[in-house]
Amino acid sequence: MYSDKVMDHFQNPRNVGEIEDASGVGTVGNAKCGDIMRIYLDIDENQVIRDCKFKTFGCGAAVATSSMATELVKGKNIQEALQVTNKAVMEALDGLPPVKVHCSLLAEEAIHAALWDYAEKHGIKIEGLSKPKSDIHEGEEEEEEEY
């Protein structure tokens, strides 16, 4: 059902954790499955993503897509990071079963939410970025399994 890459990123997720004093943090959730994803970005003065970490409470595909998404945005500038769509994440993972496509959407939304948070904190506008729909704020989430 899952590609080798999905299994690899699920079993050995990259960039798990938190970034203290992150430049931007985005937490998103899917109301139907209840899964929650949080992405932390450390962005330098040239708007390049120096580091990226995640915490996901949810399914295996959600863990794999967050892991891959963090790998894809690291080292990119914020405009390039916006191109890391759910399609790009799925392609990098050699695909996902149709019922798991929404998990990759969560990864895209989490990156966007973290970029949105960064933009708000710094009083800037990021071209092409709109407010993520499933943004969750502190205290609203329920915790499930932690990776």
Determine which residue in the list 23, 25, 35, 93 makes contact with ligand FES, applying CB under 6 A: 35
Determine which residue in the list 23, 30, 66, 70 makes contact with ligand FES, applying CB under 6 A: 30
* 59 has catalytic annotation: no
Compute the least distance from the CB of residue 61 to ligand FES, in Å. 5
* 103 has catalytic annotation: yes
Determine which residue in the list 3, 7, 14, 33 makes contact with ligand FES, applying CB under 6 A: 33
3-state secondary structure 4-28: HHHHHHHHCCCCECCCCCCCEEEEE
CA angle, 33 then 146 then 32, to 5°: 5
Scanning the structure block, which residue is given the tokens 């990776």?
Answer: 147
Q: Of 21, 15, 20, which Cα lies nearest the Cα of 37?
A: 15
> Contact positions toward ligand FES, by CB under 6 A?
30, 33, 35, 58-59, 61-62, 100, 102-103, 106
Which residues are the active-site residues?
Answer: 33, 103
